[in-house]
A and B are shown apart, each in its own frame.
Chain A
Amino acid sequence: MRKVYGRPRFLKKRSFHYCAGCGHSIVHRLLAEVIEEMGIHERVVGVNSAGCSVFAYNYLDVDMAEAAHGRGAAVATGMKRAYPEAVVFTYQGDGDLAAIGTAETIHAANRGEKISAIFINNAIYGMTGGQMAPTTLVSMRTTTTPFGRDVMLEGHPLKISEMLALLDGVVYIERTAVNSPAGIRKTKKAIRKSFQTQLDGKGFSLVEILSPCPVNWKMGVAESWQWIDKEMTGVFPLGIIKDTTGNKDAD
């Protein structure tokens, strides 16, 4: 028998600190796979962010810099402008990209910076213990919305991807989820397409990935993976939100 699947080369041999059933490590693995398959390991410079994934550089075996909370898009901009040969990606959560980092995200997208934004949306602030995120659903209980998110006080969940799609500098945005084998495979394709978009010099691309957070959602793993389908995709529909790359597929 031959080996058909194993731990990718650019995923450091280290056990993940993430909770059981968390989506972060799945996306880390997909990134490592895509980087290997595209042969771009020697060009990649990643920017990680504050949040559960602040230690992403402990797992991804590529040059990485940790940006201040929310500033990933600006740091990535500086990197790409100073060293255009690099393949620059950001790895950000919902608070990092769409709360504190909203301005940096929108303007990097508007300038059409040739970077790839990997956006992990788990509708909550995980690392700090489960507070409301911009993408928290209506009525969802978090530690700062203990009575459920109230539209009158906290507004609606923020659809940053749909907002960014309005900008001409943005050429590709897709929303996927990592709560099923099919979803994970689609996510990998989307990540690959985002990197290809950058390699083709076309503009800003973003992959929004709905990801489970069993511990802060106060659910078991299986329930949390199902909750994404039951509740999240109604508010954050999966699929291509914008694609002006002209590429049918990354392959």
Chain B
Amino acid sequence: MDGNSAVGEAAIRAGCQCYFGYPITPQNELTEYMATHLSRRKGCSFIQAESEISAINMVFGASAVGARSMTSSSSPGMSLKQEGISYLASCELPAVIVNMSRGGPGLGTISAAQSDYFQSTRGGGHGDYRTIVLAPSSVQELADLTHRAFDLADKYRIPVIILGDGMLGQMQEPVDFRHEAPAELPVRSDALRGARGRPSKIVRTCTSNTSEMEELNWSLYRRYQLIEKKETAFETFLVDDAELIVVAFGIAARIAKGAIKSARANGLKVGLARPITLWPFPSGRIKELAATAKCLLVFEMNMGQMLEDVQLALQGQGEVFFYGRPGGVIPTPSEVLRVISRHYYQRGLKKGK
């Protein structure tokens, strides 16, 4: 199954009730999958909205009345959604937003890139807020993380972004869907369902009371600290004796893995550190690895975005190199191997089996 469709199927099995989207390459298979498979399910709703702005606001409405809701887009469309995401975060409304990112800036290319890291992890829209950001690196992981995203969104009342890319979305791999769609989901206690037997509720972001706004921000940040403690996810590959560790996420990590396997075959002691949650970023783990390895090589398909989080994590303790390719160019494993090897030899790192 292609990655885009896998997201759709996983979402349905997570109990997604509403999908609102807009056509944009390279995620159209997802929108079309929902049109085919979600639209006629009982109690479910599919709309091809008039714009990405409208779609995120439809998600806002559906989430406000208690429905598990999702939208998806690619980089330029994600820019349009930022206002809506800020509002969702402020109102503490759960939502799942899928970004199959592509080269930019501007309308860019339709090929895969990872240049929306900043947009995804630093809020993206206006105001002090964060969203959970999940970075799958295979079609299976796209399915698994999509399912998990709905639970995380509901648990923490926070928008969750799935940061994929055009390649993950288009590639076809076997997928194991481990969940069945729930028969019925409980209604969220904060949902607006009409003031039946209770006082009326308000979902709002505007206030003339700055103390109120301040307290909301502190409260959100307390929650973010909890999420950092409990939900940070990270994967390593051959790091125990690694002299050089590649730090990469998403599709870049897949490419890097291929390069690392070849490097190991050549006797280079290289490993991979793969953040799965980009926010919360696994700063602690990165710092630990920087202490055991001689250097880190950050590899991403952009001009250096996760690089800054790695540098922040290290606080100057440890050596960091960077290799990036922007604009939708897909590096090959052999290219990455050349970069790894060059750094390895230049740095004078020890070889071994």
Within the assembled complex, what's the spacing in Å between the Cα atoms of A74 and B64?
A: 12
Q: Is A57 an interface residue (CB 8 A)?
A: yes
CB-based nearest B residue for A66: B204
Interface pair B50/A78, CB less than 8 Å apart: no
Within the assembled complex, what's the spacing in Å between the Cα atoms of A74 and B69?
A: 14
CB-based nearest A residue for B65: A83
When A64-B203, A68-B57, A75-B58 are in contact, do A103 and B66 touch as well, CB less than 8 Å? no
Closest CB in chain A relative to B187 CB, distance in Å: 9
Q: Is B217 an interface residue (CB 8 A)?
A: no
Within the assembled complex, what's the spacing in Å between the Cα atoms of A85 and B192?
A: 12
Interface pair A67/B58, CB less than 8 Å apart: no
Q: Which residue from A43, A61, A81 sits with its C-beta under 8 Å from B62?
A: A81
Q: Pick the most buried of A67, A79, A82: most chain B CB atoms within 10 A of its CB.
A: A82
Main secondary structure of the interface of A (DSSP, over half): mixed
Chain B residues near A71 (CB, 8 Å)?
Answer: 53-54, 57, 60, 84
Q: Is B195 an interface residue (CB 8 A)?
A: yes
When A62-B200, A107-B50 are in contact, do A77 and B61 touch as well, CB less than 8 Å? yes
Q: Is A221 an interface residue (CB 8 A)?
A: no
Within the assembled complex, what's the spacing in Å between the Cα atoms of A243 and B66?
A: 33
Q: Which of A76-101 contact B (CB under 8 A)?
A: 76-83, 85-87
Chain A residues near B60 (CB, 8 Å)?
Answer: 65, 67-68, 71, 74-75, 78
Within the assembled complex, what's the spacing in Å between the Cα atoms of A50 and B201?
A: 18
Q: Which residue from B47, B69, B204 sits with its C-beta under 8 Å from A57?
A: B204
Interface pair B47/A77, CB less than 8 Å apart: yes
CB-based nearest A residue for B204: A66
Closest CB in chain A relative to B123 CB, distance in Å: 16
Chain B residues near A160 (CB, 8 Å)?
Answer: none
Closest CB in chain A relative to B169 CB, distance in Å: 24
Q: Is B51 an interface residue (CB 8 A)?
A: yes
Within the assembled complex, what's the spacing in Å between the Cα atoms of A55 and B55?
A: 25
Q: Which residue from B84, B194, B201 sits with its C-beta under 8 Å from A86?
A: B194
Chain B residues near A26 (CB, 8 Å)?
Answer: none
Q: Is B281 an interface residue (CB 8 A)?
A: no
Q: Which of B37-91 contact A (CB under 8 A)?
A: 45, 47, 49-51, 53-55, 57-67, 69, 83-84, 87, 91
Q: Which residue from B45, B50, B83, B206 sits with its C-beta under 8 Å from A82?
A: B45
Closest CB in chain B relative to A251 CB, distance in Å: 24
Contacts A41-B194, A64-B203 supplied; 17 other A-B pairs, CB < 8 Å: A42-B196, A43-B194, A43-B196, A45-B192, A64-B201, A66-B206, A68-B83, A68-B84, A74-B57, A78-B59, A78-B69, A79-B65, A81-B18, A82-B18, A82-B66, A82-B69, A104-B50
| Sampled A-B contacts (27; CB under 8 Å) | A41-B194, A43-B196, A44-B195, A45-B193, A55-B208, A61-B200, A62-B194, A64-B202, A65-B91, A65-B202, A66-B203, A67-B60, A71-B54, A71-B84, A75-B58, A77-B58, A78-B61, A78-B64, A78-B65, A79-B61, A81-B18, A82-B17, A82-B18, A82-B62, A82-B69, A83-B193, A86-B192
What are the 6 tightest A-B residue pairs by CB atom distance, in nearest-first order? A78-B61, A78-B58, A82-B67, A74-B57, A75-B61, A82-B62
